Amino acid sequence: MDRIAIISDIHGNLPALRATLGDIAARGITRIFCLGDLVGKGPHSDQAVDICRAACEATVRGNWDDFILNETDKPTLQWHRQRLGPARLDYLGTLPNVLEFAMSGKRIRLFHASQESVYHRVQMDDSRDIHMAMFTNTPFTGDGPAPDVVGYGDIHSAYAKSFRNRTLFNAGSVGNPLDITQASYAILEGTYGSSAASPFGLQLIRVPYDIERAISDAAALGMPELAAYANELRTARYRGRKVDVE
């Protein structure tokens, strides 16, 4: 039985990344795929890129990894770009849209946000039609075989649902979770690379980490928008939230 760890949305949070990679290693899992958004929001975009590049077998591009490539007059984005430097920005520019492979007879497709683009967001409580569309081919995904399992990140909220012989899951966020104040990742279990049906499993894992250390790291570096970042890490509530529905 093979196991693959799926991490996403690290956003420069080193205490969360280290805790997550530690948990993955403690389980004896060596194959890690990353669903993007390594950078921005948190203070250590540079080290997040370096560590993920070394630890992950493959990585797709997230929305932050995409717009951070552009020169900007916004001070917050300038700060994160400066910490990354040109070589890491070049690396982010090489990341693919999707990862596809077979596991236990299922076709797996992984991307950051949706089948449309890194910017097209699909929430856990969106309609069944919107969730069904996640399994279709588009100019963004290319013309690979139709997937049976789709995994993504972007919304920073982990979930899994099965319907109409398909499974859709979100790995949640390692470094900026907006559902539970613990780092999130997924494990796929089965026979990697096999197109023959065999037992297949999906697990969503939560990893506690030192949130106050993550915040003090950001404060020590004078990171912009610190208060909003600290509040998100401590409460798992998105800063852009318009209406409190809870």
Q: Name the site residues for Mn ion (rule: CB under 5 A).
A: 9, 37
Residue closer to Mn ion by CB (options 61, 106) is: 61
Please check whether residue 5 is in contact with residue 35, taking contact to mean a CB–CB distance below 8 angstroms.
no
Cα dist from 94 to 65, 188, 227, whole Å: 10, 25, 32
Least CB distance to Mn ion at residue 196 (A): 35
Cβ-based nearer residue to Mn ion, 15 or 40: 40
Task: Give the residue with the Cβ less far from Mn ion, 14 or 103.
Answer: 14
Cβ at position 229, least distance to Mn ion in Å: 13
Q: Please, which residues have CB within 8 angstroms of residue 60's CB and are 6 or more apart in sequence?
A: 34, 35, 36, 95, 96, 97, 98, 99, 110, 111, 112
Q: Which residues pair with 187 in a beta bridge?
A: 5, 203
Q: What is the DSSP letter of 192?
A: B
Q: Which is nearer to Mn ion, 104 or 173 (CB)?
A: 173
Q: How far is the CB of 64 from Mn ion (least distance, A)?
A: 6
From the CB of 223, what's the least distance to Mn ion, in Å? 16
Between vectors from CA 235 to CA 219 and to CA 8, what angle results, nearest 5°?
80
Q: Which residue is nearest to Mn ion (CB)?
A: 37
- Hey, what are 122's tokens? 């699909």
Identify which of residues 37 and 232 has a Cβ nearer to Mn ion in the complex: 37
